[in-house]
Chain A
Amino acid sequence: MEKFFELLTQMNPFDLVQVIFWGLAGAISFYFSLGNARVWTSISIGFFLIFLSQAYGINPWAHYQKLTAFHYIIGTVAIMTITHGFLEYYVFCRTFEISGNKLVVYLSTLGVVAISGFFLIINPTPSPNTIRNFKMVENAIWVFLCVMNIEIVRKIYAAIKDSDISKGFIAFGIVFLCIFVWRGSDLYLQIFQWDKDWQDIIAIMTEETSDIEEYIVRVQLSQDVSRYAGLLSGVSVGGAFMYMYRLLK
């Protein structure tokens, strides 16, 4: 516990606020999944998983590299689960078909997370470079699926725009836009090797040099965009679920 509080004090206040917002958003979305229809389960569980993926900053055991990698895998599972949920919702809007049950969704998500953990256990301890690869893959998937989700949400809104909750989907559109900017700017930095992880790696492990000094403005801008968009994402997810909860009440 002491270590946990020590970590909190060591954390960048901005990152800490972001984790707190994701915590609130995760709690709201998880609560939302309990009292609502089955189709919402995947969506809300997915958003709850984002909190878990973001919580590595306050995880006392995050210095274990496998655990760090596990956070990024959970992040990937999170967006895949969310996308699955919105796809199901879209299918419902077109066919009015509702199948499956909540328990299956909970267990399936748990199963995928467990398999991911097992994958990490049976493989060698990931190097900082491998961990960075995990993070990059996660960001790439997030960026791609955010674009896809914005389109799905648009289509859902078009199908149900005269229903009570249609405006809630505009809120989710905003959520995905924020996440796209957040993850996109992060991915941009990673692709051009301007991210902090890469800088740390080349500083101690290789003799490679970086051109970061030449593009310091755009790097700085991308970093700022990533931080604020990340914060906004957490706030917007919490807000979107609270708004949706109000609409469905």
Chain B
Amino acid sequence: MFLLPKGNPLFENLAVSKLNLPDVLTKLSNGTFTGYASFIFQSSTAILVFEAGKLVSVLVEGQNGKREAGFEALSALAELMVTTGSGALNVYKLSKDLTMCIHALLEGETLYKAQDLKLIDINSLLKKVKDDQMNGCLRIYTDEHSAMIFYKDGNPLGFFHDGASDIETSSTESQKIAGLPGAKIDLFSTQSADELMDSNLLEVTNIQKIWDTSVALHKSEIDKTNLDRQEREKKVVSMKLAELENTVKEIVGEYVGRVGRGIVDKEISDNGGNSCLIDADGTEKFMKGVERAAKLLVSGTNIKLMMEKLSAAISIGKSEF
């Protein structure tokens, strides 16, 4: 993601999880804010550029370099804010002209892209910028370094390079990078700041609706995840209960004979299903019922052995829940 000049910081490192996008945008808009707001997430970064309270550009860039702008970017930002538990908001106030240049960098017209500096006549290019009274940003970079020169009406407003926090008046760093082998340039141009004032994304998008949709979508996803988890847990519980029921049937069948299974079925049904095997009260009733029925079929000695075995099996079964 771009490193941008910080200008005058209004807020830094505000926890995004506590923020509401429509509120943030409304506050910045009502305060006729000029500058940019950056949302830093672990996997993405979003930049929102404001000119006198008007949202002139939005850009969201993921770790993989994928970029989204405009309405898609606002939706992506809302989704990131809702779904990501972490993230920080920084708000920097900039001059109107610099803000225009930032806009150019983010969403301006690309005149040159990854152009090898050796293959172009840089002096002619700078002359053209001046002659055309261009508004925009010239980015000079190598794999390791990057610097930007912001222009207004063809005149440099300032220089900015990675490692710096704010705009500088000296071109030394930019010239240094331009002299490095493999240096390339990007050139972005934009309309004048006054013309930019004609567009306001906040007017053409219903940010509250985008936010509400994201919140609702996230909630439904959480609900679905919870439901899936509950169902999975229920399935696991029901499988374990079925296993325990089968163990109990085998024990009773071993002592009582084949009617033993029927006795267990009947007692389970009388006590509200096989969940009674993991409920203290239900287990007591179940055991009493089985013992009462077994007394009609099995000797006292075998009943004692059977009940001991049943208690042990049910205790082990219970411990697994």
Q: Is B299 an interface residue (CB 8 A)?
A: yes
Choose, from A118-126, A160-168, A218-226, the stretch at the interface: A160-168
Q: Name the CB-closest residue of B to A89.
A: B296
* The one of B258, B259, B298, B299 that contacts A96, using a Cβ cutoff of 8 Å: B259
A97 to B265, CA, bound (A): 12
A158 to chain B, nearest CB (A): 11
Interface membership of chain B positions 35-66, coded 1 if the CB is closer than 8 angstroms to chain A and 0 otherwise: 00000000000000000000000000000000
A174 to chain B, nearest CB (A): 20
Residues in chain B near residue A37, CB distance under 8 A: 292, 295-296
B298 close to A98 (CB less than 8 A): no
Known: A161-B257, A165-B297. A96 touches B302 (CB 8 A): no
Which secondary structure characterizes the binding site on chain B? helix
Q: Name the CB-closest residue of B to A248.
A: B299
B67 to chain A, nearest CB (A): 72
B300 close to A96 (CB less than 8 A): no
A249 close to B301 (CB less than 8 A): yes
Q: Is B262 an interface residue (CB 8 A)?
A: yes
A217 to chain B, nearest CB (A): 47
Q: Is B81 an interface residue (CB 8 A)?
A: no
Residues in chain A near residue B292, CB distance under 8 A: 37, 98
A39 close to B298 (CB less than 8 A): no
Interface membership of chain A positions 89-110, coded 1 if the CB is closer than 8 angstroms to chain B and 0 otherwise: 1001101111000000000000
A96 to B297, CA, bound (A): 11
Q: Name the CB-closest residue of B to A40.
A: B296
A37 to B296, CA, bound (A): 6
Q: Name the CB-closest residue of A to B301.
A: A249
* The one of A92, A95, A164 that contacts B302, using a Cβ cutoff of 8 Å: A164
A248 to B296, CA, bound (A): 8
Q: Is A129 an interface residue (CB 8 A)?
A: no
A88 to chain B, nearest CB (A): 10
A163 close to B295 (CB less than 8 A): no
A249 to B256, CA, bound (A): 14
Q: Is A159 an interface residue (CB 8 A)?
A: yes
Interface membership of chain B positions 185-205, coded 1 if the CB is closer than 8 angstroms to chain A and 0 otherwise: 000000000000000000000
B296 close to A164 (CB less than 8 A): no
A58 to B292, CA, bound (A): 40
Residues in chain B near residue A163, CB distance under 8 A: 256-257, 259, 297-298
A96 close to B266 (CB less than 8 A): yes
Report the count of interface residues on A (CB-CB < 8 A).
Answer: 22
Interface membership of chain A positions 64-106, coded 1 if the CB is closer than 8 angstroms to chain B and 0 otherwise: 0000000000000000000000000100110111100000000
Known: A164-B298, A165-B298, A247-B299. A98 touches B259 (CB 8 A): no
B293 close to A98 (CB less than 8 A): yes
A4 to B293, CA, bound (A): 44
B167 to chain A, nearest CB (A): 89
Q: Name the CB-closest residue of B to A165.
A: B297
Residues in chain B near residue A161, CB distance under 8 A: 257
Q: Is A36 an interface residue (CB 8 A)?
A: yes
Q: Name the CB-closest residue of B to A36.
A: B295
B285 to chain A, nearest CB (A): 14
Residues in chain A near residue B74, CB distance under 8 A: none
Known: A160-B257, A164-B302. A97 touches B266 (CB 8 A): yes
A194 to B126, CA, bound (A): 145
A95 close to B257 (CB less than 8 A): no
Interface membership of chain A positions 138-181, coded 1 if the CB is closer than 8 angstroms to chain B and 0 otherwise: 00000000000000000000011111111000000000000000
A95 to B262, CA, bound (A): 8
Interface membership of chain B positions 247-268, coded 1 if the CB is closer than 8 angstroms to chain A and 0 otherwise: 0000000001111001100110
Residues in chain A near residue B295, CB distance under 8 A: 36-37, 248
A149 to B12, CA, bound (A): 94
* The one of A36, A93, A247 that contacts B259, using a Cβ cutoff of 8 Å: A93
Most B Cβ at <10 Å: residue of A39, A95, A164: A164
Known: A37-B292, A93-B259, A96-B259. A164 touches B297 (CB 8 A): yes
Residues in chain A near residue B257, CB distance under 8 A: 160-163, 166
- Taking A164-B299, A249-B300 as known contacts, 8 extra A-B pairs with beta carbons closer than 8 A to each other, sorted by chain A number, are A92-B296, A96-B266, A162-B257, A163-B256, A163-B297, A165-B298, A166-B257, A248-B299
Interface residues of A (CB under 8 A from B): 36-37, 39-40, 89, 92-93, 95-98, 159-166, 247-249
Can you list 29 residue pairs at the A/B interface with Cβ under 8 Å?
A37-B292, A37-B295, A40-B296, A92-B296, A96-B259, A96-B263, A96-B266, A96-B267, A96-B293, A98-B292, A98-B296, A160-B259, A160-B297, A161-B257, A162-B257, A162-B258, A163-B257, A163-B259, A163-B297, A164-B299, A164-B302, A165-B296, A165-B297, A165-B298, A165-B299, A247-B299, A248-B298, A249-B299, A249-B300
- List 9 A-B pairs, minimum CB-CB distance, nearest first: A162-B257, A163-B257, A96-B266, A163-B297, A37-B295, A164-B298, A164-B299, A96-B263, A37-B296
